[in-house]
């Protein structure tokens, strides 16, 4: 049994986000937007890197951009990032850029490598040179493990094959190197599939299914439906990222470490789609297209390390998160397929610790 680094109580007493300046890359993305909302709510001063203005992203649709210093450009642009680090001092960096659809990467692998790997080594080296006490949380992926025996634990080797897997594994290893060799306070997250409100990438199974159901159409599965996935509700993902940032500065043993965060599920895609159909009350059956290429068939993460070392516990969970998600998309699409009002499922505001 590992020793617990600290407790959530002690972290909340020593890490006041209202006194922190934070950089978030991928600010128009699903995770980036959710992080920025939470950081603003906690009173942090936020700088967001935006490669392309996306009016429909949470950052712009919810007006979060009005409370954020926007830096326009590509996170892999070295001169841009050097200027950003030279102009202000950061307490924390969340690198969430380029969480691309795995099929899209087959058509643009170099863009994927640049967005994930080049951006990471440049940013970490700038922090090594200019801001060595700035903590950073680098978002890798469960896909970095590749296809291997389950459950996936952090001590397993990374065995990627698909370009997206290779890019994420490379980003992961670069971060481990800078943490352990250069003593930089940086860590890696490997998470299950994010889901929740404000994910407008309709190529993903949950928003894509709910979009079709809102139009009275049958959901289309791009796989045979029997691949299994692990999941993490977006609010739980944000809490995990912020928990790590608050933990590592005073815990050098964590520098360069990787952490899994998920619910430890092996849920078949077709079962997930059926749950969504049941929650919406639609009377349809899914279409199995089975056209997907080169995806890992089964993923399942063990999060024991985060539980033992960080006292991590998800505050929402899968079932409640899925109900909140269905209700939010019902509102978003103007579809009357949820009898549970979204406002009633928010729960108490999460801690800013």
pLDDT tens digit sequence for 204-242: 999 999 999 999 999 998 888 899 999 999 999 999 999
Q: How many CB atoms lie within 10 A of CB 91?
A: 19
pLDDT for residue 10: 40
**Terminal-residue alpha carbon distance, the chain:** 25
Separation between Cα atoms, residue 133 and residue 131, nearest integer Å: 6
pLDDT grade, residue 343 (50/70/90)? very low
Per-residue pLDDT tens digits for 80-105: 999 999 999 999 999 998 766 666 78
- List Cα–Cα distances, 184 to 110, 255, 325, in angstroms: 27, 6, 37
Q: Does pLDDT of 339 surpass 60?
A: no
Instruction: Please give the pLDDT value at position 270.
Output: 95
Choose the weakest-confidence range: 15-24, 67-76, 331-340: 331-340
pLDDT band of residue 250 (cuts 50, 70, 90) is confident
Is the pLDDT assigned to residue 353 strictly greater than 70?
Answer: no
Q: Which residues are catalytic?
A: 164
Distance separating alpha carbons of residues 135 and 92, to the nearest angstrom: 5
For 70, the 3-state DSSP assignment is strand
pTM: 0.92
State in words which class domain 8-195+234-262+302-314 has.
Answer: alpha beta
pLDDT at 346: 43
Domain residue ranges of the chain, discontinuous segments joined by +: 8-195+234-262+302-314
User: Is 255 buried (19+), middle (13-18) or exposed (0-12) by CB count in 10 A?
Assistant: buried
Count how many residues are written for the chain. 353
Q: What mean pLDDT do residues 127-151 have? A: 97
Q: How confident is the model at residue 348 (pLDDT cuts 50, 70, 90)?
A: very low
Select from 257, 230, 263, 231 the least CA-distant residue to 244: 257
How much is the average pLDDT of 8-22? 71
Q: Is the bond into 151 cis (omega within 30 degrees of 0)?
A: yes
Nearest to 129 by CA among 182, 93, 75: 182
What pLDDT is stored for residue 336 in this prediction?
82
Per-residue confidence (pLDDT) for residue 4, from 0 to 100: 43
Question: What are the tens digits of pLDDT across the range 37-56?
Answer: 999 999 999 999 999 999 99
Phi/psi region, residue 317 (left: phi>0; alpha: psi -120 to 50; beta: rest), is: left
Q: Do residues 119 and 76 make contact, with C-beta atoms less than 8 angstroms apart?
A: yes
Q: Which residue has the higher pLDDT, 265 or 107?
A: 265
Q: Specify the range with the lowest mean pLDDT, choosing from 112-126, 142-156, 194-208, 339-353.
A: 339-353
Higher pLDDT: 293 or 18? It is 18
Tell me what percent of the residues of the chain surpass a pLDDT of 70. 89
Backbone dihedral region for residue 321 (phi beyond 0: left; psi -120 to 50: alpha; all else: beta): alpha
Contact 115, 32 (CB under 8 A): no
- Residue-wise burial string across 315-326, b where 16 or more C-beta atoms lie within 10 A, e elsewhere: ebebeebbbbbb
The answer for residues whose C-beta is within 8 angstroms of residue 348's C-beta and 6 or more apart is none
pLDDT of residue 98: 76
pLDDT in tens, 254-305: 999 999 999 999 999 999 999 999 999 998 999 988 666 567 999 999 999 9
């Amino acid at each position: 049994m590992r020793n617990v680094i600290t407790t959530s109580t002690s972290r909340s007493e020593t890490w006041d986000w209202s006194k922190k300046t934070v950089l978030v890359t991928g600010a128009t993305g699903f995770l980036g937007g959710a992080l920025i909302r939470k950081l603003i709510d906690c009173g942090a001063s936020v700088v967001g890197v935006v490669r392309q203005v996306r009016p429909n992203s949470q950052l712009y649709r919810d007006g979060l951009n009005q409370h954020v210093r926007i830096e326009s450009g590509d996170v892999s642009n070295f001169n841009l990032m050097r200027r950003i680090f030279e102009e202000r001092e950061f307490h924390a960096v969340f690198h969430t850029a380029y969480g691309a659809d795995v099929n899209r990467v087959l058509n643009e692998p170099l863009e994927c490598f640049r967005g994930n790997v080049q951006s990471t080594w440049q940013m970490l080296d700038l922090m090594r040179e200019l801001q060595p006490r700035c903590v950073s949380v680098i978002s890798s992926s469960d896909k970095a493990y590749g296809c291997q025996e389950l459950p996936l634990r952090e001590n397993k080797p990374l065995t990627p094959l698909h370009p997206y897997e290779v890019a994420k594994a490379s980003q992961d290893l670069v971060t481990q190197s800078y943490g352990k060799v250069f003593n930089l306070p940086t860590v890696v997250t490997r998470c299950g599939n994010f889901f929740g409100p404000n994910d407008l990438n309709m190529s993903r199974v949950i928003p894509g299914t709910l979009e079709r159901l809102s139009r009275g159409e049958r959901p289309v599965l791009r796989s045979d439906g029997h691949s299994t996935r692990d999941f993490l509700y977006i609010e739980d993902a944000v809490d995990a990222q912020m928990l790590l940032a608050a933990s590592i500065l005073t815990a050098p043993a964590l520098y360069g470490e990787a952490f899994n965060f998920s619910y430890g599920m092996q849920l078949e895609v077709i079962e997930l789609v059926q749950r969504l159909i049941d929650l919406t009350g639609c009377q349809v059956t899914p279409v199995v297209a089975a056209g997907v290429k080169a995806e890992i068939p089964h993923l399942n993460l063990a999060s024991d390390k985060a539980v033992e070392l960080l006292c991590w516990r998800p505050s929402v969970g899968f079932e409640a998160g899925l109900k909140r998600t269905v209700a939010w998309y019902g509102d978003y699409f103007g579809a009357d397929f949820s009898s549970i009002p979204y406002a009633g499922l928010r729960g108490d505001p999460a801690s800013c610790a």
